[in-house]
Chain A
Amino acid sequence: MARKSPLGVFINCPFDGRYQKFLDAIVFTVFRCGFDARCALEIDDGGGTRIDKIMSLIEACPFGIHDICRTDLDSVSKLPRFNMPLELGIFLGARRYGNADQRRKQCLILDKNNFRYQKFISDISGQDIHSHNNRVESLIYEVRDFLRNNGSHISGGNKIYKEYLRFEREKRAICRTLDLRPDELTYKDLTHVTTSWLVTQS
């Protein structure tokens, strides 16, 4: 069972290089809004079944951000990745069949265009799906608006976006000081760099 995480936001998104800047932006916005960003990348695959660990993580987090934008075929296998719809399904299932805590779960479902999801995952029609139009700025606005409803006073999306841009610039310098390339940061490294940077901004 993962650590119980009342401020936990489960992030379900692609983990490829093309999505990295979006993942950075989600992690930044989640911590900036006072929540705790959790995702499958923090799982150490040393032992146990991966799906069990992901389910524990989902169980521990009352909030979820699911980006189902990656539907392209893999360049090598020519097959799509199904992990994101699967984890979204587990999250929705927990909300439907779980105990009182699980039923209070809230999630934000994102795609890159409006109504595109109806062509590949039409069963979630009726849910409120938001689009980020493949833009980091829109993504930050969406995440911030979602978390604002569940938190106390949070600054506007524009301010958070500007802070994110400054963070991205300074992150490179921080990595250089640590003798790391930004793409070498693991998920845990990223969360620590993000929170350390945020608390020095006050």
Chain B
Amino acid sequence: MSKISKAKWEAGAEAKAIARLLRVSPQKLNVVQKLIQDRKAATFPSPLLKPRSKGDKLRIPLGSKRSVGNAKKLADGVRLVQAYKRAGYDISGSTSDGVIIVEPSGRPDSFNLSQLNKAVSRVQNR
């Protein structure tokens, strides 16, 4: 893997963790990824500011004035993910009371993660 593609891959993984942590829609992942690559947390674009749905807990507001606060939130998220990464953990997400759930070690034996995610969301959506 070349240096550039490795950096891209790492930024992608980090972006996924941050998106999960901040509950940002997966469609905005490329924006977060770009942000991590450029390290310009204060200038991230407005599409990211839209809440995913009406019930979205993060409720990132629209508007340039507030985007500084959101940029700070995102920058905090980046720092948090990096702190966990330094400790050897990937973040799986967080609970409603703010507890960070870490990714378990190893891979599952009987299924892959995308099958599991589909199964969990199917059960949740029933």
Chain A contacts to B: CB under 8 angstroms: 3-7, 31-38, 42, 151-155, 170, 173-174, 177-178, 180, 184-186, 188-189, 191-202
Contacts and interface: CB of A to CB of B under 8 A. Distances in A.
Interface of B: 20, 23, 57, 87-89, 92-111, 113, 115-124, 126
A152 B118 CA distance: 31
A155 B106 contact: no
Nearest to B93: A199
Of A185, A195, A196, chain B has the most CB atoms within 10 Å of the CB of A196
B109 A36 contact: no
Nearest to A7: B102
Nearest to B106: A188
A44 to B, nearest CB: 9
Nearest to A193: B116
Contact of B123 (A4, A5, A31, A170): A170
A115 to B, nearest CB: 34
A36 B97 contact: no
Given A195-B103, A198-B92, A199-B95, 16 more contacts: A3-B105, A6-B87, A32-B95, A33-B99, A153-B99, A174-B116, A177-B119, A178-B115, A180-B111, A189-B109, A191-B105, A192-B113, A196-B113, A199-B20, A200-B93, A200-B121
Contacts of B100: 34
Given A189-B109, A189-B111, A6 B96 contact: no
Given A5-B88, A32-B95, A198-B95, A188 B111 contact: no
